[in-house]
Amino acid sequence: MLIKKPADIRPSEITSRDNYLNRRKFMQAAALAGGSLVAGDALTALVPDQKQAKLADIVPSQYSTDESPNSFMDITSYNNFYEFGMRKEDPKRNSQSLRTRPWSIEVSGNAEVTGTFALEDFVKPHTLEERIYRLRCVEAWSMVIPWVGIPLADIIKQFKPMSSAKYVVFETLLDKEQMPGQRSRSLRWPYVEGLTIAEATNPLPILAVGVYGEVLPNQNGAPLRLIVPWKYGFKSIKSIVRMHFSETRPGTSWEIAAPHEYGFYANVNPDVDHPRWSQARERRIGSDQGTGLQSLFSASRQETLMFNGYGEHVAHLYDGLDLRKNF
Ligand code: MTE
């Protein structure tokens, strides 16, 4: 088991461990008293339902970068999640009351196995992996994030997509009460993203349930979000409630909002600029000193890599495709 941790132990972590141990004690007592299967299941739940709980039995991944991860503070304080507001600090402030249990995922479309699955059942057959990935946002900033999740390819296999399934489409929860940003017309709701079936079954994408060895904070897309490390961050859709196997290419949120600026493919590409800014370089958030909000203002610039540095694993997916037209 490998859980990379920041050098300093945060107070929140100490609290979370205490909460976690208390809950385990409670569940053990309940199981002993009643011998109940439910309590037994909860004891071994792959993704515990309380905030900041530690995830157990995480295995390291051969696909992790050895660059140093951003701090927990940077990763959880500087977010894009328009359902909770448009400024970077909004998601942390406004997402805390999002209810992430019970949570279910509807699997639909051209697959042999479809239906609505509780999160616990959806993730149960799998092992959690830590994948330390670069996340390059289309806004020309980047971070390195120690995600915890399950390879999307393994999840997809379970549902046995048919040969007619050419795309996998994901949707975020639609709930104006819980997600106040959905009352504004900043995007068409629910947030939709998609991948070709070849992209979705490549070994790199994961469905993340955690970060830094802990359950995913709400602002990062709890309880389940996509991570596609060679694409701009907007492909990595948060708080997923639907996975649909489609014959046709979906309209995706940012492409619908501004088709000349954001394409379906959204592969990180330093040679294809956004119409309003260059994509050749990026600002690595918090790369030079310490942790904390201060580091957000002291970021340095570095060159952006083709496919965000993941070309050896994914370049073949685009053989023969004009990446200037298919941006
Ligand atoms: N998913 C939803 N549902 N809504 C969003 O606004 N923003 C995207 C992506 N997923 C977004 C989303 C963008 S633009 C980025 S850069 C990443 O989430 C940011 O992920 P992070 O906040 O965990 O770093």
Q: CATH number for the domain including 52?
A: 3.90.420.10
**What per-residue confidence (pLDDT) applies to 26?**
36
The rounded Å distance from CA 300 to ligand 1 centre is 22
pTM tops 0.75: yes
The rounded Å distance from CA 9 to ligand 1 centre is 27
Residue 24 lies in a domain: yes
The rounded Å distance from CA 18 to ligand 1 centre is 30
Residue with tokens 């402030």: 93
**What per-residue confidence (pLDDT) applies to 293?**
55
DSSP 8-state assignment for residue 89: T
Is the CB of residue 223 less than 8 Å from the CB of residue 208?
no
**What per-residue confidence (pLDDT) applies to 173?**
98
**What per-residue confidence (pLDDT) applies to 95?**
98
Tally of domains in the chain: 1
Residue 108 lies in a domain: yes
- Nearest Cα residue to atom 10 of ligand 1: 237
Strands 141-151 and 167-172: unpaired
**What per-residue confidence (pLDDT) applies to 29?**
38
The rounded Å distance from CA 235 to ligand 1 centre is 8
Distance CA 304, CA 268 (A): 8
Ligand 1 shell residues, CB under 6 Å: 79-83, 135, 137, 172, 191, 220-221, 233-234, 236-239
Identify the CA nearest to 163 among candidates 126, 115, 201: 201
Domain housing 200: 11-318
**What per-residue confidence (pLDDT) applies to 38?**
41
**What per-residue confidence (pLDDT) applies to 287?**
64
The rounded Å distance from CA 79 to ligand 1 centre is 7
**What per-residue confidence (pLDDT) applies to 111?**
98
**What per-residue confidence (pLDDT) applies to 12?**
42
**What per-residue confidence (pLDDT) applies to 257?**
98
Nearest-atom number in ligand 1 for the CA of 238 is 1
Residue 93 lies in a domain: yes
Residue 112 lies in a domain: yes
Distance CA 259, CA 195 (A): 17
User: Mutate which of 93, 132, 232, 234 to test ligand 1's pocket (most atoms within 8 Å of Cβ)?
Assistant: 234
Residue 327 lies in a domain: no
The series of mean pLDDT values per 10 residues for the chain, 327 residues long, is: 43 39 39 39 75 96 98 98 98 98 98 98 96 98 98 98 98 98 96 98 98 98 98 98 98 98 98 97 79 54 97 98 97
Alpha-helical runs (H) found in 35-87: 37-43, 72-77
**What per-residue confidence (pLDDT) applies to 44?**
58
